[in-house]
Amino acid sequence: MLMYRPFESQLNQELGKHGLHRAQWTILYYLVNEGPSTLVELAHYQRVEKPTMTRTVSRLEELGYVDHIPGKDRREKRMQLTAEGTKVYKKVRVTIDKFEQEILEGIPEDTQQLIIESMKAIRMNLINKESAK
Amino acid sequence: MLMYRPFESQLNQELGKHGLHRAQWTILYYLVNEGPSTLVELAHYQRVEKPTMTRTVSRLEELGYVDHIPGKDRREKRMQLTAEGTKVYKKVRVTIDKFEQEILEGIPEDTQQLIIESMKAIRMNLINKESAK
DNA sequence: TTATTTAGTTACCTAAGCTAACCATTAGCC
DNA sequence: GGCTAATGGTTAGCTTAGGTAACTAAATAA
């Protein structure tokens, strides 16, 4: 909670150097790691509603960072990174890696590892909580 | 990063039960802990620009949760919690405490402590980074 | 006493959430 | 096979919450 705004404002500043925003960035991130995905998959991952994803993805499409290939289903829209999108991802990745290193400065390596593990556990708690409602 | 949306969406859901939002909540939180404060102090704490704070605070004013007392300076607007605001804070506090406990479930007590300390350190790094630009 | 800084506001733009209502397509079922 | 459900996505319209630029009023500094 006490990190929320400092983190978001600094992150947006780093991303802003490349004309990106947080919500857009996490989509690129997901596509790189999971490969071509449908809007529903992306929306589920990000915990947003479908219309939100439609809009954000179409922004990325306009920027030329993603495009859609037809899935086997004529309803679904499978999104994938374009060559341009991959290029941008790699470039921003460097900035973000540096950013993450900077904010973790002074925290011992093993503690960092512990934090990352704990974050995953917290994420699971959050997601379970949600589906349990 | 991977916690961002799950956290925000669940937090907003908890706060929504009381008709509040994240940005509003953190203002109440600050006022409870720091006492009556000016808009500039609040904006600085939250890492937002002044106009953003003006708007959010005036929303809280409409809700009757805060009001302003004149500072010694005829420019500044010192905000304080109303009785109603204090009442709401206490009520929401219970919900949030429970929420925090739930998401930390399964994480050992000492690790939780370590995480909280680390968060403070990260926050400092973020803030230093910002002012160093 | 003039110039500069500080606190706050107004106006306007953008990103990114949400819900409600909808269309198309697919899957399930009798 | 043909109706009904469920699923994937979109459109429209709302809200919160961030940002800049340009401003006023008051206080400070030169």
Query: Where residue A11 falls among pLDDT bands split at 50, 70, 90?
Result: very high
* CA separation for the pair B72, B86 (Å, rounded): 24
- Write out the two tokens for B125: 């790094």
pTM: 0.92
Residue type, A97: D
What percentage of residues in chain B have a pLDDT greater than 70? 98
Using a 7 A cutoff on CB, list residues near strand C: A 21-24, 46-49, 51-52, 55-56, 59, 73-75; B 5, 9, 38-41, 50-51, 54-55, 57-58, 71, 73, 75-78
| Structure confidence at residue A113 (pLDDT) | 93
Q: Is B33 an 8 Å CB contact of chain A?
A: no
Evaluate if residue B133 carries a pLDDT over 50: no
| Structure confidence at residue A101 (pLDDT) | 94
* CA separation for the pair B27, B33 (Å, rounded): 10
Evaluate if residue B131 carries a pLDDT over 80: no
**Nucleotide at minimal C1' distance from the B12 CA:** C17
Residue B96, CB-side half-sphere exposure with 13 Å CA sphere: 21
Query: Where residue A75 falls among pLDDT bands split at 50, 70, 90?
Result: very high
Evaluate if residue A14 carries a pLDDT over 90: yes
Query: Where residue B8 falls among pLDDT bands split at 50, 70, 90?
Result: very high
Q: What is the pLDDT of residues B51-90, one digit of tens each?
A: 999 999 999 999 999 999 988 899 999 999 999 999 999 9
Instruction: List the A66 CA – C12 C1' distance (angstroms).
Output: 31
Query: Where residue A128 falls among pLDDT bands split at 50, 70, 90?
Result: confident
Q: Is B119 an 8 Å CB contact of chain A?
A: yes
Section A5-32 average pLDDT: 95
* CA separation for the pair A50, A66 (Å, rounded): 17
| Structure confidence at residue A72 (pLDDT) | 80
The interface predicted TM-score (ipTM) is 0.89
* CA separation for the pair B124, B128 (Å, rounded): 6
Nearest CB partner across the interface for B10, out of A105, A121, A126: A126
Tell me the DSSP string of A29-77. HHHHHH-SEEHHHHHHHHT--HHHHHHHHHHHHHTTSEEEEE-SSSS-E
| Contact criterion met (CB below 8 Å) for A81 and A67 | no
Instruction: Work out the minimum CA distance from B94 to partner chain A, whole angstroms.
Output: 16
